[in-house]
Amino acid sequence: MTDQTHPLSVQSLLRCFALPADSRVNQRVPKKLLLEHGAPTAADKRLINEGIEEIQCLAALKPNTIGVAAYQDEQREYLEIAVVSLTLRSLEGKQAQTLRLAERLHRAVPYPLLLLIQNGSELLLTLAQKRWAQNEAGKVVLDGELSTARLPQDGVSRETASAFCQSLALNRQPQSHLKALYQGWIDKCDSLKAAALTGIFKAPTTPEQATARRHALLECERLEAEAHRLHTLASKEKQLARQVELNLAFKRVQTELDKHRGAL
């Protein structure tokens, strides 16, 4: 399979977005900027120093570079989407640390961030909506959890990965304003997660479909964790009556999980 269909580097994944040449920046970002603005603890500073190889600003998506209008309401202002790459060292397989670094970078940049992470042989795409802080004028905070897509990902075929990559093109996202454009990419990440459970990559066609899928995915994650907990408890239980009780609870959770998977 070629790079275009199953990207194995930041640059090949970046090509999937088909960004205009006028939007490209390609500037290295010194780690000290993240240390100054995104490292509230000593552990964060150590993780940034030891875990990051390079940060690059790849593109700035603005109304005058991509032809999509800015967005503003009482909660947020989207004047630009920053496309940034993060190359890590010695963190392959260390998901918690990788996501911690991604979160620190999202928090440090005032614009919504399209973050492409190279972590050894793994690629990660992360996004997070932002809003004004309620108690600090002019400060921007994350609005919800990070949205992520991982390549390669368990349960995702090469054909599904190819469909996901093709769906990322700029002109295949909503064009009404920058917030809608950004949400389009978040919805594609949700679609890839759903495909890992259903085997089929299908992007939502309406905001309502996207919201329903997001809720179903959250329920699937919660129920999978609960099913794993019950299964572990049942396997360790010595009393037969309690073991039967836990197995019945596990089956009820599995039934509920199947229902939510069907909603994907």
55-105 per-position pLDDT tens digit: 999 999 999 999 999 999 999 999 999 999 999 987 877 888 999 999 999
Q: Is the pLDDT of residue 4 over 70?
A: no
The 10s digit of each residue's pLDDT in 229-243 is: 988 888 898 888 888
As a residue count, the chain comes to: 264
pLDDT tier, 1 (very low <50, low <70, confident <90, very high otherwise): very low
Which tens digits make up the pLDDT trace of 161-175? 999 999 999 999 999
DSSP string, 11-51: HHHHHHT---GGGEEEEE--HHHHHHHS--SHHHHHHHHHH
Whether residue 118 contacts residue 189, with contact meaning beta carbons closer than 8 Å, is answered with: no
6 sits in which H/E element: none
Strand order in the sheet with 24-28: 24-28, 52-61, 81-88, 113-119, 122-127, 147-151
Q: Delimit the domains of the chain by residue range.
A: 10-203, 220-262
- 114 touches 81 (CB < 8 A): yes
Single pTM value for the model? 0.84
For residues 21 and 15, give the distance between their C-alpha atoms in angstroms, rounded to a whole number. Answer: 11
Better-scored residue on pLDDT, 264 or 161: 161
Give the 3-state secondary structure of residue 150. strand
pLDDT for 126-181, tens place per residue?
999 999 988 877 788 899 889 999 988 777 888 999 999 999 999 999 999 999 99
With a cut of 70, say whether residue 209 has pLDDT above it: yes
